[in-house]
Structure 1
Amino acid sequence: MLQPLAPRPLQAHALFQSTDLDEARERVAAVFCPHRLETLGRRARLNARQHHLRGERLSLNYIEYGAKALIAPGELDRFYLVQIPLAGGAMIANGGTAYYSSPARAAVLNPHRPTTMIWDEGCAQLLIQIDRQAMMDHLAAQLGARSDRMLTFDGPLDLTTGPGAALRRLALYLAAEADQGRAPLGQGLMARQVESALMSGLLDSGAHDHAAHLGRARAAPRPRHLRLAESYIEANLRRPLTIEEVAAAAGISARGLQLAFRQWRGTTPLGWWRDRRLEAAHADLMAGQTSVTDTALAWGFTHFGRFAESYRARYGIPPSETLRAARTRFED
């Protein structure tokens, strides 16, 4: 039997721990929705716990039941739910779709389709609960118009490569930040951008009925002011920039520039600038001809701890591991 990660994610945000079935059902329902909860097997021994970090439009959760458990909430109604197994797995039925979710395959539960699940004994999961209306609003921002139908996901989400692996890394990174007292969710522009990044990650990685429309929207020509802003940022990667400076170079207001990047890039202008610098730093480290410190300084990262955290969130490993692997490759 697979064991949950130790320490458990979101340990600093423990909500409850109980061996009582009724209490577990009631406490989980208070965050999610009323549901049927039963243990399976004559020797089943429940040891349920939930950790919960609430944001403005979504929440991060960690749940385990210990025993094999049947969970039947019906329609979730108010929210989408992404379930990322960290140990064990679960059989998922959401509407007419059924599949097995594992550490390699997340489950995405639609709010408007009935759900029934059987979690394996020892199953432990990190869950992203996203408000239904917030998800539809975010979709509309990406499409440039509101959809006339509910966003519907189909089947499991691949966590091993591409956007799915990035989504998993981001969720675990945010949980780790919360456990270090740097809660990434809550109020403010940065917290909203974090939530938007999670929703964009879900749209990019999950199979859903709006994927083709999103592809056409993103393939459309960029507005002139966005092209000018991106060109200016690319030409000035190595020095500090402000939103006001970039906006002036693009001939648009700072607010207008933020809205353009949010609609077309799913991030902020400075977030896009940071990502380009991380890509440049990654390329230098992959070449194996420099040090982590020199690379960070060369691309404007003066806080080495933050650089390492941002790099790990994007690439899944510390910058030192990238450099070590590159040097080993060249030595071979």
Structure 2
Amino acid sequence: MTEFGYFLSCEEFGPDDLVEQARMAEDAGFRSLWISDHFHPWTGEQGHSPFVWSVIGALSQACSLPVETAVTCPTVRIHPALVAQAAATSQVMLDGRFRLGLGSGEALNEHILGGTWPAADVRLDMLEEAVEVIRRLFTGEEVTHRGRHYEVENARLYTLPDTPPPIDISAFGPRAADLAARIGDGFVTTAPDADTVERFRAGDPARPAYAATKVCWAPAREDAVRTAHRIWPTEHLPGELNQILPTPRHFEQASELVTEDTVAGSVACGPDPEEHLRAIRPYVEAGFDRVHIGQIGPDQRGFFDFYRTEVLPLLGGGADNTSSPAPDRTDRTDRTNGGDRS
């Protein structure tokens, strides 16, 4: 049965707002959290981009929901050894409720250190090697690695969880889906594509597939359409633009081609529960284990009240069957050193 989570947008909200949204999501009956990992927002209108690992630390103390990055790029902006350390610490702080979502990234976030933005096939090759480095570090052994793209010298993680976080791979095209099937514990995407889910699961039908979509609740549908168009026109750009445009300014220029009618025809907007259900059902029918829903715009409280009372109950979820209460966090003395696997 499909579970429903909430998608925290680091592009649209600051850290304090994201933590409060996580609390509201748990109270409303959502079962998990996705959180984006960006250096820039897509456009200046979105206006935020906090450091995701700091926010995850705060989330671990604010609610009891599982958390996954959606997604981190461990190849250019941040070395995979540092991603491994951040993910291991997150898994410790979340008491085993963390999943590491990884992808090949976008120039918008990853080219900021001045290097050349690699071609798609090179990015996938870098991602595969990065996952190899991360998994080796998760063992707690000392790692020296000299590969095509990365070098690691005498590196060892000392703060380790009892169980390493699962690694889920983002994919949209066939080659990325094949890579996800080869190296991933799970698969993440934003498209309700049953063929890609089936391709990923061909070798192991039990592996999970997770997805996300954005909606915009508002008392009036026309207001919701305007809000979604103003804040997230980039969701509707064609082809590879999302992977290759380098700055928010370029996305703003490209987004001038996106009309309100385009948004109105592709985003669930307004107060009609059935419109939201129509947007979510294709993900359920495609076989996703979890679907994460993100509210566009500032009226988060209205969204959570709406989903708690009118949408989640129709999807088989709701506040009556939320995750278990938050674990006791009073004694973490043994957690920090308990993963030392010498």
TM-score w.r.t. the length of structure 2 is 0.25
Find the structure with the greater CA-based Rg. 1
Q: Which has the higher strand share?
A: 1
